[in-house]
A and B are shown apart, each in its own frame.
Chain A
Amino acid sequence: LSRERQANIRARQAFLSGRARPLEFRLQQLHALMKMIKERESDIATALKQDLNRSQYDTPLLELTGLENDIKMAINKLAVWAAPRPVERSVLTLRDQVYVQPQPLGVVLIIGAWNYPWALTLGPLIGAIAAGNAAVVKPSELSECSSLLLRALLPRYLDKDLYPVVPGGVSETQELLRQRWEHIFYTGSSSVGRLVMEAAAAHLTPVTLELGGKSPCYVHPDCNIRVAARRITWGKFVNCGQTCIAPDYVLCDPSVQNQLIECIRLTLLEFYGADPKSSPDYGRIINQRHFNRIMSLMEGYTPVIGGQSDASQRYIAPTVLRDVPPQSRLMQEEIFGPVLPLVAVSDIDDAIRFINEREKPLALYVFCTDQKGIDKMLEETSSGGILINDVLMHYTLNSLPFGGVGQSGMGRYHGKHSFDQLSHHRSCLVRSLTMESVHLSRHVAPHFHLGRHLVLVLVWSQISSTVQSPVRVSCGSL
């Protein structure tokens, strides 16, 4: 029996024991997870520094604060989230209990990513625990130190059998995907997302896919370009561009392009100084393969800012290129690096057309002051999420669902959405055997009474459909 299969079996046995179900247990595990994050922050920061040259400030900022907020919210709200949710009743069901009861699904497989190895692996886990599931966690092998640390830490704080960590690369992941899960939560690339969904098909397993793509950023001439440049620069170069919702490329008209370049140049100086390589706040590319990939995308183009690199450190300077042709390689795949192409468009309609010719992105950014322009963008495009006049921030608001659409993914999480995503919403109708004489009207009668009964049926169905202002009756807890 492979290690992966064993983890699946043990997690399932642990789930079937029923101990993950009581709210007290789930709360205790969530508290323990919080404790782990708080107590081990510096270990986590060290691992991230080795994996991605992450600045110590980025660790809480980008990885842990979001997790802490999600855990706090889950702890505060769990009782409400897990309670029966009453729905509208009709006249005929007024004396019944009609509600939706969230239930655990069973065993969830969580496949994490390397760019935010803690946030993107533990984020779904919070939802899995809160919803009462078991979860097998597979951290990304590319963020090696984080993966090793997670393997060491999680069993020390959480239930070992319910939430095992299974490490590994491609073949281990494939073996995991051969097992039966009640849900698979995957964060990563679209190409692997397809394979995950295909594997899930064999067991009819539902999936959440948090994928990527090229998130466009449109800068309208009427906006405050200085502020826009600062926000875009921050969102683009944080984690060295390796963020699924980083502004991948900028669309703007030629006059804006010039101003934008100058503002970005100034901002980069503010953020990282004259030599970003020596700034403690500037990251590195995860590995040689990705370094080579990003460098080759830039081949043939002369940047207006940056362009320097150092393969020994996997360092690529914050880089900006202007007038990038839409058919260039740079515009064909998600860059996932500190290279910002500026693509020229003539106006907002041209920008919208450009965006709509391409796959629906995970995030869409629009810098614009005019409300009409904002509304146009909102109405004429689609994307996982959309931010006006900033980047990335929607990720931090856990009351907003976070997820993609089309090629950028399916499903959503954060806050309550994580809980709902990893629960089964069971419809419950609790009736009594009284009122049988009323219900007799629906029972089939000998056909010579059909006429009369049809009238009754029609009356019944009229009143059984919910009336205009439905009676909202609160349902007592079971």
Chain B
Amino acid sequence: METHSAVLQKLRNTFRSGVTVPEKFRRSQLTQLLTLIQENEEKILGALHKDLSKPKFEAILSELEIVLNELHFALSNLRNWMQDEHVSKILATKVDECFVRREPLGVVLIIGPWNYPMHLLLLPLVGAIAAGNCVVIKPSEVTSAMEAVIAELIPKYLSPDCFTVVCGGAEETKALLKNKFDHIFYTGSQSVARSILQAAAPLLTPVTLELGGKCPCFIHERVDIIAAAHRLAWTKYFNLGQSCVAPDYVLCTKETRDLLVPALKQVLLEFYGEKPQECPDLARIVSPKHWTRIMGLLGKSKGKVVLGGESDEDSKYIAPTVLVDVPEDDSLMQEEIFGPLLPLLTVSSVDEAIDFMNNREKPLALYVFSDDSSVVNTVLKKTSSGGFCSNDGIIHMALPGLPFGGVGASGFGNYHGRWGFETFSHKRAVLLRGWALERLNGLRYPPYTDNKLSWLRWTTSPKSCSIL
């Protein structure tokens, strides 16, 4: 099995030459990436449609615009991010230069998933390039049309000495992981994440894991149910539910549920019309395997379908579906659904909802819909999750100022904007001293005395600077 060690060696040699470090180079590659997207929009959209039947609208928003925004943001802020960060000093270092310098790590590996094959591959790439690294880019083999487009376009626009695309499946990835990388950035499932960590451990390679889980959505009774239904439906059925931050299931009281179901019915009609299967604004499930998996969950479910439920195997279509009377131990509650099935589970209070969420693994995102800010605050304070959004969904990941990442079973590390730059950088502590003040240094040398010690304690305490 091809380990690509020759390719790795080439990238390592390039990195050693220092060519990726200057701001000018990073800027040029980021700009090239911009051009790649701008010049190949049709091709990319075509591939996304082939792989996922992604509606053009969704593709533009969630696969192109988001990457373009990130690129613009990086280009605007790169110089700032690259600046040495001067830190506060103690008396002992008062006349020294003390700062943190961000340095590239070297050769990094980015492994992308299939649900947003452009966005979730290129957004980390922006951070890696901005930080001055060479990158091995591994797109998902599941979305084969996009894989081919990436393999074709990257070498055309980015420097082939610095950036390489490696294609393949699980076996090829395993072989690739035998190489030493300076960082591995993985987006995908927990089981694969474990094997990546196991491959990284003997080489002491730092890793960022962007995983998933079941993102809960608590809908409180004090809420504009129609507005909530709009936002809930949009975030749930976008990409036909195949988003790591899609609201996986809803928690609400019986009364709220009874208002929510007709509201959702109305919204689904508005969004997708009478015959959703014919609506071009709905994506499709990525593969027969996943279609079968989701339909299997539906088949085993003890819940009752109140909206949707239709499906078509040939076109990998599943209708936007809502279920009620779903028990806690239902098949739908055993794994991340990653599809257009929305179970509504009932709780009797906010506290019960909080306990329900806290009895489960920490999710990538947690949502609350309520007009009552004390309810929002309570849920916020008493739960943990990668990210939190009230009265909306998904959109928190479109803000480049916010770090995007998980906690616990949903992953560790983060990116977006400056956070991506930092993830792919080493924060090197730098202390530049002079030859003067050797007398002061003398306090630390043996033979030790009480007197020296008390002076020394004073000069190294953070308080001592305020006197000067």
Contact = CB atoms under 8 A, between A and B. Distances in A.
Contact of B234 (A211, A383, A400, A443): A443
B204 interface: yes
A354 interface: no
A439 interface: yes
Interface stretch (A166-174, A190-198, A322-330): A190-198
A461 B58 CA distance: 12
A405 B56 CA distance: 43
A243 interface: no
Given A204-B411, A385-B428, A427-B404, A356 B69 contact: no
Given A103-B384, A466-B400, A234 B444 contact: yes
Main secondary structure, interface of A, reads mixed
A390 B444 CA distance: 13
A392 B369 CA distance: 52
A61 B411 contact: no
Contact of B390 (A272, A385, A387, A431): A431
Given A386-B430, A424-B384, A446-B273, A87 B401 contact: yes
A58 interface: yes
Nearest to B203: A194
A460 to B, nearest CB: 9
B286 interface: no
A39 interface: no
B444 A198 contact: no
Interface stretch (A27-35, A289-297, A449-457): A449-457
A1 to B, nearest CB: 22
Interface in B257-296: 270-273, 279-281
Interface string A175-212: 00000001000000010011101101110101001010
A436 interface: yes
B61 A442 contact: yes
A279 B446 contact: yes
A390 B431 contact: yes
B57 A457 contact: yes
A230 B384 CA distance: 51
Interface in B162-200: 182, 190, 193-194, 197-198, 200
B412 A206 contact: yes
Contacts of A389: 432-435
A164 B252 CA distance: 39
Interface string B40-76: 0000000000000001111011000110010011001
Contact of B412 (A204, A380, A409): A204
Interface string A266-281: 0000111100000111
Interface in B11-50: 16, 18, 21
Contacts of A390: 431, 433, 441
A407 interface: yes
Contacts of A382: 103, 426, 428
Contacts of B392: 429, 431, 439
B446 A201 contact: no
A478 interface: yes
B446 A427 contact: no
B422 to A, nearest CB: 11
A195 B400 CA distance: 36
A32 to B, nearest CB: 20
Interface residues of A, number: 112
A397 B98 contact: yes
B408 interface: yes
Contacts of B435: 223-224, 227, 369, 389
A271 B452 CA distance: 14
Contacts of B453: 57, 60-61
B429 A88 contact: no
Interface string A46-84: 000000000111101100010011001100000000000
Contacts of B398: 464
Interface string B352-378: 000000000000000001010100110
Interface of B: 16, 18, 21, 55-58, 60-61, 65-66, 69, 72-73, 76, 87-90, 92-93, 98, 100-101, 103, 105, 182, 190, 193-194, 197-198, 200-202, 204, 206, 209, 211, 223-224, 227-228, 230-231, 234, 270-273, 279-281, 369, 371, 373, 376-377, 380-381, 384-392, 395-405, 407-409, 411-414, 426-435, 438, 441, 444-449, 452-453, 456-457, 460-463
9 contacts: A58-B448, A89-B401, A201-B197, A204-B412, A227-B435, A397-B93, A412-B427, A430-B390, A453-B57
Given A428-B402, A443-B271, A458-B65, 16 more contacts: A60-B453, A65-B456, A88-B400, A197-B204, A200-B201, A227-B438, A279-B447, A378-B430, A386-B429, A389-B434, A394-B430, A397-B89, A406-B204, A429-B402, A443-B234, A445-B271
